[in-house]
Amino acid sequence: MDAVRALLREASAVLTDAGVASPEHDAAALLAHVLDVPRSRLPLVADVGEQDAGRLAALVARRASREPLQHLVGTAAFRHLELAVGPGVFVPRPETELLAGWAVEAALALQAAGTAEPVVVDLCTGSGAIAGSVAHEVPGARVHAVELSEDAFDWASRNLAGSGVDLRQGDLADAFEDLLGHVDVVVSNPPYVPLEAWESVAPEARDHDPHLALFSGDDGLDAIRVIARRAQRLLRPGGVLGFEHADAQGESAPEVLVQVGGWEDVRDHADLAGRARYCTARLAR
């Protein structure tokens, strides 16, 4: 066990020097991946062989170069799901679980009110995280998702296989013509980083996440403007919309809906750190 602790200390020190935000967590996650054991079982590991120690050192070096941890282990946890991720798809963030939870709760509320099969549309699905969560947590919901990127679509196809989600490849601006006026919930985690904020984006995202999933015009609101109008056509009167935005867009993102018009109950919501994170609204009846 002392050898394991020493390996973890060494790996954590390398990651700390590289500016990784969570060095101890990442070191343990990488060692658990190398040994193919849950992190909770690491205290029970007596020793690490030379070959596994070499594999760990190689992965730590890649993480120190700011390659995302999820790319190195091949998965990302999201609510009750374990998603396959890698180059070409946006790695889902923990804060987006709140938006997914809002969509789940909205669909469950509809079921409780008598809508047995609420219709949910996920625009810009990426890895399929939100769509998969709704399908998993709201049995009976009819979940649809769209993704423009061919690479991300392939990852979503893998993650949503067997889930019952209707996954399509295409542009959110004209997606789901067959559902116009029949959708109960529209949800989206769109690109929202302003182009001018390039230098401020963490290297893990800037250098490894697809730029299509990150940047959205000079003010970061271009995709949200499209969503505001597309959701109006997709939703039935009284249907609801929720979308994520940057923490600096707590006023400007809701204002998009106000400017478009036709939306009621426009509200912004904070994440667990108290930062503005997602906006919800109801289509006027």
Right CATH number for 2-65 from 2.30.30, 1.10.3470, 1.10.8, 3.90.550? 1.10.8
87 is in an annotated binding site: no
Instruction: Look up residue 214 and give its amino acid.
Output: L
Q: 147: annotated binding-site residue?
A: yes
Tokens at residue 148, please?
A: 């423009």
Question: Could you give the residue range(s) of every CATH 3.40.50.150 domain in the chain?
Answer: 88-283
State the sign of the Cα–Cα–Cα–Cα dihedral 108, 192, 232, 256: positive
In single-letter form, the type of residue at position 15 comes to: L
Q: Identify the three-state secondary structure at position 76.
A: strand
Q: Which residues contact 176 (CB under 8 A, 6 or more apart)?
A: 121, 144, 146, 168, 183, 234
Is 189 labelled a binding residue?
A: yes
Domain 88-283 has CATH 3.40.50.150: yes
Using the Cα atoms of residue 273, residue 89, residue 154 and residue 35 in order, give the sign of their dihedral. Answer: negative
End-to-end CA distance of the chain: 64
| Gyration radius from the chain CA atoms | 20
What 3-state DSSP class applies to 235? strand
Find the DSSP H helices in the chain.
2-17, 23-35, 50-64, 69-73, 96-112, 129-137, 150-160, 203-206, 222-234, 252-260
The per-residue pLDDT for 205 is 66
Q: Which segments of the chain belong to CATH 1.10.8?
A: 2-65
What does the alpha-carbon distance between residue 20 and residue 237 come to, in Å, rounded to a whole number?
Answer: 46
Q: For the sheet with 183-188, list strands across it.
A: 166-169, 142-147, 119-123, 183-188, 235-244, 276-283, 263-270
Which parts of the chain have pLDDT scores under 70?
A: 1, 195-202, 204-205, 207-209, 212-216
* pLDDT for res 214: 64
- pTM passes above 0.95: no
pLDDT of residue 5: 85
Say what the pLDDT of residue 12 is: 93
Determine the pLDDT at residue 236.
98
| Cβ neighbours for 210, distance < 8 A, ≥ 6 positions apart | 88, 89, 90, 149, 151, 152
Lookup: tokens for 106 = 């909205």
pLDDT the model gives residue 34: 92
Please write the tens of the pLDDT for every residue from 218-250.
788 999 999 999 999 999 999 999 999 999 999
| Residue 210, marked binder | no
Predicted pLDDT at 209: 66
How much is the pLDDT for 204? 65
For 93-131, b/e burial (b = at least 16 CB within 10 A) is eebbbbbbbbbbebbbebeeeeeeebbbbbbbbbbbbbb
Q: Say how far residue 166 (Cα) sits from the centre of its chain.
A: 18
